[in-house]
Structures are given as C-alpha cells and as structure tokens.
Structure 1
C-alpha cells in the first residue's frame, strides 16, 4: 500500500483546518438568539408588611 507524500498530508490538514474555521465562524455570526418576550405581569412584586 503506497504511502501519501508529506505535501499531501499538509494539504489535507490545511483544507480540514480551514473548513473547521470557516464553519465555526459561520456558526458564530449566523446564530440569532431568540429574544425573550416578557410581560409586565410576570415581574409584579407584592408590598412587604413589616410587623414589628
């Protein structure tokens, strides 16, 4: 079974590395987080009655 030349290994490494970096950048910049929809009823607080 013939061995691959070192130049081929270097080419494969650079192609796979650039592909990984490319997909990582695309995932980072194309991710749009959903904004939480909050209603004012959810954050109502009841007044404290201090009895002392």
Structure 2
C-alpha cells in the first residue's frame, strides 16, 4: 500500500480543520436560546421550607 505524500496530509489537515471551524461557527450562530423568565423559574422549582423545631 503506497504512503501518502506530505502535501496530501497537509491538505487533509486544512480540510478537516476548516470543516471543524465552519461547523463551530454555524452551531454558535444558529442555535436558538430560550431566555428564562422569572415566573417560569419560580414555578419550575418547588419551594421546600425546612422548619426546624428544637
């Protein structure tokens, strides 16, 4: 099996690096974040009160 030339390795490295950077940029800019409202945050967590009787 023939060995790959160094220029081919360099091309593969640049191709995969650019694909990773492009995927990261697309993932960063096109994700939709839902902001948390205060009423949602209060209603989602149950209020537990601990009354210690000594």
Superposition TM-score, scaled by structure 1 size: 0.66
Q: Which runs of 5+ in 1 are unaligned?
A: 43-52
The structural deviation recorded for 1:31 is: 1.1
Q: Which runs of 5+ in 2 are unaligned?
A: 43-54
Instruction: From the CA coordinates, give the structure whose radius of gyration is larger.
Output: 1
Q: What is the aligned partner in structure 2 of residue 16 from structure 1?
A: 16
Aligned residues: 40
Measured on the aligned residues, the alpha-carbon RMSD in Å equals 1.2
